[in-house]
């Protein structure tokens, strides 16, 4: 009987490993899209860059939905929350692109690492979740890391990293809305409405200031949409197989790609403050993940009655 169970167990482990690798790869290719946006942002309005990216992403999602599932999968009774989540994604994307105009790619990526910490901080007032003392301490340490990165830029008059903080806040609210929707909505439905709202809203913002892109710039904008679609698909598939708490540490792998691209494409070298801030934010995020996984294990234990 035990021998019959081994293939199933091994198959489950293999699926989990593939999910983790896909999740890690997704976050490692996100900085490629951001690097392209940073290069384009000096020549085109950020709403235009974002609109093309969302438009390509939306077309890919539509093809996936209608080819494999049919339009009935898009039925929802929570259209209001979908619109709110789409608006938050639009705000986050615009803020990221605005930040990338003046700030280093790696620095913006590090600031975005504070998004999970903001989720923890906002879970108590918005969702009524109980937050452990250790998680509050981790949030405080992570925010101190953000200040270490932002302060030198702020003293120099730079506003790029301030936009990155706005993007992180929008991202945190996006995740909290996603939690509410996850109880009743399939991930693909959410992705459809997010890209629909993004394409519509950003398209309307982009039209008055549209500049016709050159051939190679069109390629870069289209590539951004393809990268986003591939990355989100990998993330959603991974979450279907492995718990988000187990996947969360691999979110930080993107700093490797961001640092390498920042140096190669823009000559950016993180200073000592940025490195220290990165360590504080990453460490705080991992502490929060560890405490959340511990709470999940405790809640999963069977109730003992003496």
* Distance, CA of 217 to CA of 214 (rounded, Å): 5
Per the CB < 8 A criterion, the answer to whether 161 and 99 are in contact is yes
Q: Does residue 6 lie in a domain region?
A: no
Q: What is the pLDDT of residue 278?
A: 81
In a domain, 150, yes or no: yes
CB 182 within 8 A of CB 8: no
* 17 part of a folded domain: no
Task: Identify the residue whose tokens are 């830029």.
Answer: 153
8 A C-beta contact, residue 205 and residue 36: no
Domain that holds residue 178: 29-299
Q: Is 90 helix (H, G, I), strand (E, B) or coil?
A: helix
Could you tell me if residue 210 is inside a domain?
Answer: yes
Classify residue 21: in a domain, yes or no. Answer: no
pLDDT at 301: 46
In a domain, 207, yes or no: yes
Residue 105 in domain: yes
Structure tokens at 228: 């986003």
Q: Which residues of the chain have pLDDT under 70?
A: 1-9, 68-73, 151-158, 244-245, 292-293, 295-306
Q: How many domains are contained in the chain?
A: 1
- CA dist 46 and 57 (Å) reads 17
Is residue 51 domain-resident?
yes
């Amino acid at each position: 009987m035990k021998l019959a169970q081994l293939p199933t167990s091994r198959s489950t482990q293999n699926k989990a490993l593939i999910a983790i690798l896909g999740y890690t790869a997704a976050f490692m290719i996100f900085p490629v899209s951001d690097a392209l946006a940073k290069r384009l942002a000096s020549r085109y309005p950020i709403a235009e860059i974002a609109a093309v990216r969302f438009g390509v992403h939306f077309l890919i999602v539509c093809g996936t939905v209608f080819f494999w599932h049919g339009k009935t999968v898009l039925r929802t009774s929570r259209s209001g929350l979908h619109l709110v989540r789409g608006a938050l994604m639009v705000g986050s994307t615009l803020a990221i692109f605005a930040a990338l105009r003046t700030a280093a790619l790696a620095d913006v990526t590090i600031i975005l690492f504070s998004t999970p910490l903001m989720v923890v901080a906002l879970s108590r007032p918005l969702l009524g979740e109980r937050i452990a003392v250790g998680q509050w301490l981790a949030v405080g340490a992570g925010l101190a890391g953000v200040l270490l990165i932002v302060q030198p830029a702020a003293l120099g008059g730079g506003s790029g990293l301030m936009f990155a903080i706005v993007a992180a806040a929008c991202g945190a609210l996006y995740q909290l809305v996603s939690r509410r929707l996850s109880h009743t909505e399939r991930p693909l439905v959410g992705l459809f409405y997010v890209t629909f709202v993004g394409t519509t809203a950003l398209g309307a913002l982009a039209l008055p200031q549209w500049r016709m892109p050159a051939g190679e710039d069109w390629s870069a904008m289209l590539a951004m949409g393809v990268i986003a679609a591939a990355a989100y698909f990998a993330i959603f598939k991974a979450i279907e197989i492995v718990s988000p708490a187990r996947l969360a540490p691999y979110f930080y792998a993107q700093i490797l790609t961001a640092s390498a691209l920042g140096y190669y494409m823009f000559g950016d070298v993180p200073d000592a403050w940025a490195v220290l801030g990165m360590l504080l934010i990453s460490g705080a995020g991992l502490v929060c993940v560890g405490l959340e996984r511990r709470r999940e294990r405790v809640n999963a234990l069977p109730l003992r009655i003496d």
